[in-house]
Chains A and B, each alone.
Chain A
Amino acid sequence: MSNTMKLTLKIWRQKGPKDSGKLVDYPVDHVSPDMSFLEMLDVLNEQLVEKGEEPVAFDHDCREGICGMCSLVINGRAHGPQTGVTTCQLHMRSFKDGDTIYIEPFRANSFPVIKDLAVDRGAFDRIIQAGGYVSVNTGAAQDANNLPVNKNDADKAFSAATCIGCGACVATCKNASAMLFVSAKVSQLALLPQGKVEAQDRVLNMVHQMDLEGFGNCTNTGACEVECPKGISLDNIARMNREYMVASLKKEN
C-alpha cells in the first residue's frame, strides 16, 4: 500500500429535491489506484458512517458497466475523464496523488436530484413507454429465417441497442438534450423488420414525449457521442431526424 493517494473530494450534497444543495469538501486518504471510483466512494461513506455523518447517496447497481445505473459528473465530464467507460469502470489510477476531484450529479431539469448525487431518470422510462417497443400479441415465435435481416442493418441496430440509458448524453450536452438516447432507441427498432411496422408512430410519439419532459434541443455539438460510455453514434440522431421528417410529412392527422 505504498503508492496510495491522498485526495480532496468536492462532492455535491443535497438533502432532497427541494434543497438547494452545495459542494462539500471531503479529504480522503489511503486511496488505492486499483480501486474503482465507486469503491473509493464506498470507503468515504464507511468513514462518514463511522463518524455518524450522513453517507453520500449515489446510484450504482451492476458495477460491470452494463446496467446504466451509475452516473456522476467527475471534474466536469460525465462518467469521468476516460471515454468509453461508465463511472463504475473508472479506476483511481486515472487520478494523481493530491488531486482535487469535483463530483456532481447529472444535471438537467428533466433529471431532478433525489438526493446528493442520485437523480431521477424516470423521464427516460416515460419516453420508452411512449413507443420504444414492438407491439407483440400472443403466439409462438416464428422461425427466425422468415424474417431476413441485412447484416449491415443488424449490426447498426445492435450498436444502437447497446445504449444502456444512463443519461450521460443529457448530462454532458450543453442543452441537456436527450437526442442521442432517443435516437438510439428509435434506431434499434427502425432498422429491423419487426420494428419497421410501427416506426413512424414510434418516432413521433417518442419525440413528443422527449419534448414534454423538458429536455433541450440538439445543436449537433457532438459532445454526447464523445462522452457516451457505449459510443452510440451521431448516425442515430441523423437517422431519427430523417425518420421524423418523413413520419411528420406522411402523418394523416
Chain B
Amino acid sequence: MKTSIARKILMALSGLFLLLFLFQHFIINSLSVISADAFNSASHFMGYNPIIQFIIQPILLFAVIFHLVMGIVLEAKNRKARSVKYAVNGAAANSTWMSRNMIITGLTVLAFLGLHFYDFWFPEIGYKYVEFGPEDPGRYFGELQHKFVNPVRVALYCTAFIFLALHLLHGFQSSFQSVGFRHNRYTPAIKKLGNIYAIAIPLGFIVIALFHYVSLLN
C-alpha cells in the first residue's frame, strides 16, 4: 500500500474482482428476460444464501469502496505530479480517450451506483435486516419491473452503462498489465476478450432495461 506499484496492483485486483461480480450480476439479470420464476429463484438464492450474504457481499462492498477511494486518491496524486500543465497537449496522438479519462467514467459509474443502491440495495437490506420482513421468494421480479417504468430512470441507467463500457474498455486489459500478466501470445487475446466484455456486458444490461421498459408500455 505504501508504494506506487503496490497500489496499482491492488487497484487491478479489486477491478478484476468487480468484473467477475458484474458478470454474475448480468447472468442473473438476463434471467429476468427469459423467465420471471428463474429470476426470482436466483435472486432469492443470492439474497438468502449465508455465504453470499455474509462473506461475499462484505468482500464485494469492500472491493467497491477500495476501488473508488483508491481511484480518487491516485488521481489526486497523479495530478499533483505535474503542477504546470502543457499549453498544447497532444495526448490524443498517443493514447485512447478511455485510458486518460478513467476518473470521469469511474465517477459517472459511481453516481449511478448511488442511484442503484437507493433503488435496490438499501430497500433490500432494509427489508431483510431492519424490518425483518418475511421471506418472499416471488417479490424480486415485480421490484425489478417497477424500476423500469420511468423513462428518465431508464435513460439514466442506459447512459451509466455506456460510461461503464468506456471504463471497462481500458480497465479490463489494463488490470492484466498491472498485475504483470503480459505475454505476446496471450495479451492480444486478452485485449480482444476485454473489448468484447466491455461492450457486450453493458450492452446486455441496456437491452434488459429496454426490454422491461418496452414490455411494460403495453
Contacts and interface: CB of A to CB of B under 8 A. Distances in A.
Do A and B make up one complex?
A: yes
Contacts of A222: 94-95, 99
A220 B5 contact: no
B77 interface: yes
A77 interface: yes
A235 interface: yes
Interface in B172-207: 173-174, 177-182
Given A175-B81, A176-B81, A208-B3, A76 B90 contact: yes
B150 interface: no
B87 A23 contact: yes
A99 interface: no
Nearest to B4: A217
A108 B93 CA distance: 19
Contact of A235 (B84, B88, B182): B182
A174 B89 CA distance: 10
B181 A238 contact: yes
A83 to B, nearest CB: 8
Majority secondary structure, A binding face: mixed
Interface in B76-104: 77-78, 80-91, 93-96, 99-100, 102
A21 B86 CA distance: 12
A251 to B, nearest CB: 12
A150 interface: no
**How many B residues touch the partner, as a band?**
35 or more
A219 B82 contact: no
B100 A234 contact: no
Contact of A102 (B84, B87, B94): B87
Given A77-B94, A172-B94, A211 B81 contact: no
Interface residues of A, number: 49
Contacts of B67: none
B82 A239 contact: no
A81 B80 CA distance: 26
Nearest to A244: B5
A210 interface: yes
B46 to A, nearest CB: 33
A109 B81 contact: yes
A109 B79 CA distance: 10
A237 interface: yes
Contact of B87 (A10, A172, A211, A240): A10
A110 interface: yes
Contact of B78 (A23, A216, A237): A216
Interface string A44-84: 00000000000000000000000000000101110001000
A109 B4 contact: no
A165 B87 CA distance: 24
Nearest to A239: B180
A12 B95 CA distance: 25
B99 A102 contact: no
A223 B87 contact: no
A220 B6 contact: no
A175 B73 CA distance: 13
B93 A77 contact: yes
A246 to B, nearest CB: 9
Contact of A109 (B83, B96, B102, B181): B83
Interface of A: 10, 12, 21, 23, 73, 75-77, 81, 102, 104, 107-110, 172, 174-177, 179, 207-208, 210-211, 214-223, 226-227, 234-235, 237-245, 248
Given A75-B90, A76-B86, A176-B82, 11 more contacts: A77-B90, A102-B88, A107-B82, A109-B82, A172-B91, A174-B91, A175-B81, A176-B81, A217-B74, A219-B174, A241-B5
12 contacts: A75-B90, A76-B86, A76-B89, A77-B90, A104-B86, A174-B95, A176-B81, A215-B81, A216-B82, A218-B8, A220-B170, A220-B178
- Across the A-B interface, the 8 shortest Cβ-Cβ residue pairs: A76-B90, A242-B180, A216-B81, A238-B182, A175-B78, A226-B94, A241-B180, A76-B88
